[in-house]
Structure 1
Amino acid sequence: MKTKRITERDYVKASRRGSREAEIENHNRPICFSRIHKSKKVYDRKRRKADDKRHLPSSFYRVGRIW
């Protein structure tokens, strides 16, 4: 009968999995530590356009279309 050996790779894998589960338990969701915080002061055309659409009444969306 062959016994399975626990390699260093298996140990690291199990450690990461346990750490991830503990993190989700503590924060109620997965947390990404590698993501860089984007400043709101930086010019971002995409975000600005989305904000403009969000604050307009719904009647402005249909102006270009012919019903």
Structure 2
Amino acid sequence: MKTKKKDSFMDYIKANRRGSREAEIENHGHPVSFSRVHVSKKVYNRKKDKADAQRHLPYSIIIVCFN
């Protein structure tokens, strides 16, 4: 059975990416996503508006009627 050769170039690329990622986390304090699409604040977003409205509502009050 043949043994697979390790590609030194791929190891170099992986080590470079890992080092770059660690440096980025040190600079920003958290990982930064570059692939996320920037969402404009001006765009109407019903789901987010609804979540904000529910978050700012006062606690529900239970009304009990006694006869």
TM-score, L = length of structure 2:
0.74
The answer for the alignment partner of 1:40 in structure 2 is 41
Give the Cα separation in 1 of the matches to 2:54 and 2:6.
58
RMSD value, Cα: 2.2
Q: Deviations over 1:9-62 (max 9, x none)?
A: 1110000000000011111111111211111211111101101101110116x6
Amino acid at match of 2:53: D
Task: Percent identity, please.
Answer: 63
Distance in 1 between residues matched to 2:22 and 2:11, nearest whole Å: 17
TM-score by length of 1: 0.74
Q: Which stretches in structure 2 are left out of the alignment for 5+ residues?
A: none
Q: Which amino acid aligns with 2:57?
A: L
Q: Helix, strand or coil for the counterpart of 2:18?
A: helix
Counterpart of 1:57, as a letter, is P
